[in-house]
Structure 1
Amino acid sequence: MNGAPASLLRACRDLTPGFAVAALGVAGATVVNAALPSVSRLVVALVIGALLGNFGFVPQTTRPGLQFAAKRLMRVGVVLLGLRLSVSQITDLGPTTLLVIVFTVFATFFSTQAIGRQMGLSRGFCLLVGTGFGICGLSAIAAVEDASGASDDEIATAMGLVTLFGTMAIFAIPYAGGLFGLTDVELGTWIGAGVHDTAQVVAAASTGGAAVLTTAIAVKLTRVLLLAPIVAGVNVARSRSAANSGLTTKRPSPIPLFIAGFMACVLIRTLDVLPNSTLDVAKTAEGLMLTAAMVGLGAGVDIGKIRELGPRPLVLGAVSWIGIATLSLGAVLLTV
């Protein structure tokens, strides 16, 4: 009986220094976001973590806690993200809008990987970029990082690309929507389908009014729902590859536990069994955990190694960004 409490105490002691750094990063990101609401708190947290890690402010004692935040807290945050989405929100979009979402996600996901491999980039890195640009930015990249087999620096680079081009989209897509004369529903659908991270979608849609924002969030969260089948597909493909290669390593579950949790939260929200006060608490917890995870991920970034990857990742990011913006706009104009 004494062994379990002692082990728990040791684990808490090992994790505490890293948790303290993550908490400071969350506080800093929250302050910046409050002063500049158009700047995503997740992006700021990632930058803070990278600065701390590359300027020697992350001693070895903080690594266990920061790594725990980057992986475990990220997954809990993704699970809680499911409480934002109900089946009725999806069905209210209508079949044509759902077609736009599915087409844009899968076209971006597969074409980005094909182009990246033609450029000589690793399969794992291309998977990260295709998932991040196609679905929900940083959270999606974190969801497939284990299955991708990519290095920490490739993960950091993929997140940097989503951050860079998603930030550009905050300003470019609403401006272009005005030039094309899009209606509120059309603009909201384009933003929800063509901008990467959820926070970036909110920032871009907020400039267009309530109707644009409501549509954009519904479309975006429906894109997030597609994370489940894509992660399942990636894990099945990885299992088959391992079997064909004769490897005896443990095969990943087709549906990771945190993705199953995400789907369960969608079901809970659909059944409407939780009061608004509980949903508000869950949303706050989700934001804090995802922000802490970004600090942990940023702290593991080695900028020197990222530079060694060369300009090809930047080119792939630009191609993927232009591709998803063009595909989603074309689909909106043709169907919505």
Structure 2
Amino acid sequence: MTIHRVQASDAAPGLALAGLGTAVAVAINMLLPAVSPLLIAIILGAVCANAVTLPAAVRPGLAIVSKSVLRIGVALLGLQLVLGDILGLGFGAIVMVVVIVAGGIVGTLYIGKLLGIPFAQRLLIACGCSICGAAAVAAVDGVIDAEDEDVAAAIGCVVVFGTLMIPALPFLSHVLGLSDTDAGMWAGGSIHEVAQVVAAGGMIGGSALAVAVVVKLARVILLAPVLAVISVRQRSAIAADGKRPPLVPLFVLGFLACVAIRSVGIVPDTVLDIGKQIQVVALTAAMFALGTGVRLSLFRSVGSRPFILATCATVLVAVLGLGGVLAVG
């Protein structure tokens, strides 16, 4: 059954379940703001799927949420980006960001190959650690349609290791004697999630937070070209129905359109705030839907290798970030 043919009555049970899961995840996040609502949602979905047998009636609605709603959330992520702020970093910092993202992805893919990890799983972890955490994992999944347990493992890895970086990076910055600005650049260039970068930048203090966020958003904007490259690779294999995937997925064009709209400054702050809230809710709902496809038996079969790879990827991105900061400085 294809998503666009699902009737509203067929989709309602799954949409209602996803809505309930999203509400619970957001509520928990309000109590525990340090924990990503996306991670909470995928854990809730997995618990729900393994604690009870979900009826077949919820599947059409959950499929819509895990695909279409996911793409909406990724597209709206573009509303957080202002090209002028990113260009204001200067040529050296922009090159640094490109090296971090490209080097992080290529290096992680290579290490994952040595560990014997399937390409889809290492690509998810590589992009999550190198670009923007769970949102990048979800976006890449929207292009390659990976297995649900691979997505869950990748999201868990990037959120956990990114969270560990929140206290570690400010401490290491102090030990290395970095200025607030340099420490902020390192945080923005190395930590996985935007929210985690904000937390670390705030701990460093001074001018660190502002520069950390801008550097991080520069990494986020590279999500679009990375997804385009992945999509081109996917086109090399003809799908079972004889059709090739689009050269550039529609939601990537939506992401770029949102970046353009935000950059020209025509969107009121109120609308931007609403868009951000919708983006968080959409991605949280998608994570819950993906979580319901995870079975513990399948998750156990993933083993420890993804976590080893995520450790290596986190260290690699951090080293590339520090090297870039020292080179630019």
With normalisation by structure 2, the TM-score equals 0.92
**1:46–1:152 CA distance, 2 compared to 1 (3 A):** closer
Give the residue type in structure 2 aligned to 1:295. Answer: F
Counterpart residue number, 2:64 = 68
Q: CA deviation at 1:238?
A: 2.3
Unmatched runs of 5 consecutive residues or more in structure 1: 1-6
CA RMSD, 1 decimal: 2.2
Q: Distance in 2 between matches of 1:335 and 1:320?
A: 22
- 1:144-159 equivalences in 2 (<5 Å): 144-148=140-144, 150-159=146-155
Report deviation, 1:136: 1.1
Deviations 1:246-298 (CA, angstroms, capped at 9, x unpaired): x8732122211000010011111111111111111111111111111121122
Equivalent of residue 279 in structure 2, options 274, 286, 294: 286
- Taking the aligned partners of 1:43 and 1:10, their CA distance within structure 2 comes to 28
1:214 alignment counterpart:
210
* 2: CA distance, partners of 1:268 / 1:26: 28
Q: Residue 4 of structure 1 corresponds to which residue in structure 2?
A: none
- 1:311 correspondence with 2:304: yes
State the secondary structure of the residue aligned to 2:236.
Answer: helix
Question: Which runs of 5 or more structure 2 residues have no equivalent in the other structure?
Answer: none
Q: Does the 8 Å CA contact 2:124/2:151 hold for their aligned counterparts?
A: yes
Number of aligned residue pairs: 327
**Identity percentage over the alignment?**
39
CA distance in 1, matches of 2:274, 2:36: 20
TM-score, normalization by structure 1: 0.90
Question: What secondary structure, in the 3-state scheme, does the structure 1 residue paired with 2:207 have?
Answer: helix
Q: Distance in 2 between matches of 1:129 and 1:87?
A: 26
Task: Name the CA distance, whole Å, in 2 between partners of 1:176 and 1:218.
Answer: 21
Question: Please, which of 165, 189, 195 is the counterpart of residue 169 of structure 1?
Answer: 165
Give the letter for the 1:75 counterpart.
R
Instruction: Give distance in 2, aligned partners of 1:275 and 1:43.
Output: 30
Q: Distance in 2 between matches of 1:203 and 1:14?
A: 42
Kept in 2: contact 1:74–1:139 (CA 8 A): no
Give yes or no for the alignment of 1:114 onto 2:120. Answer: no
The residue identity in structure 2 corresponding to 1:197 is E
Return closer, same or farther for 1:32/1:104 CA change in 2, 3 Å cut-off. Answer: same
Q: SS state of the match for residue 137, structure 1?
A: helix
Q: In structure 1, how many angstroms separate the alpha carbons of the residues matched to 2:130 and 2:294?
A: 23
1:38 alignment partner AA: A
Which residue does the alignment assign to 2:96?
A: 100
Task: Name 1:266's counterpart in structure 2.
Answer: 259
The structural deviation recorded for 1:196 is: 1.1
What residue identity is the alignment partner of 2:179? T
Other structure's SS at 1:120 match: coil
| Matched AA of 2:172 | A
- Contact kept in structure 2, 1:128 and 1:148, CA below 8 Å: no
**Between 13-22 and 285-294, the greater mean CA deviation after superposition:** 13-22
State the AA in 2 paired with 1:92: G
- Of residues 18, 26, 49 in structure 2, which corresponds to 1:30? 26
Seen in structure 2, the aligned counterparts of structure 1 residues 205 and 28 have a Cα distance that, compared at 3 Å, is farther
Quote the offset at 1:198 in angstroms: 2.1
